[in-house]
């Protein structure tokens, strides 16, 4: 969804937010940030850690 806003809404306005109609740096920042968090996975302080494949099959 965030990449869609870059392409369809903010792409033509340029990179920086001070452009008319805003730029695409803010949606790009959020897209990269959310991707990094998703790839990082559960941490040591996770409230509900996901189960590993071995735990799901009972090994």
Whether residue 2 has pLDDT greater than 80: no
Cα separation of 38 and 31, whole Å? 11
The reported pLDDT for the residue numbered 42 is 85
Give the model confidence (pLDDT) of 40-56 as tens digits: 888 888 888 888 777 77
Higher pLDDT, 36 or 21: 36
Residue 1, classified by CB atoms within 10 Å of its CB into exposed (0-12), middle (13-18) or buried (19+), is exposed
pLDDT digits (tens, 9 = 90+) for 3-23: 777 777 767 777 777 777 777
Rounded to two decimals, the pTM is 0.58
Yes or no: say if 28 and 10 are a contact pair by the CB < 8 Å rule: no
User: Hey, what are 29's tokens?
Assistant: 């920042």
pLDDT category of residue 39 using cuts at 50, 70 and 90:
confident
Rounded Cα distance between 59 and 57, Å, is 6
């Amino acid at each position: 969804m965030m990449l869609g806003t870059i392409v369809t809404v903010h792409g033509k306005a340029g990179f920086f937010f001070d452009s008319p109609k805003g730029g695409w740096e803010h949606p790009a920042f959020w897209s990269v940030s959310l991707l990094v968090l998703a790839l990082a996975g559960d941490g040591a302080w996770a409230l509900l850690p996901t189960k590993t494949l071995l735990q799901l099959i009972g090994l």
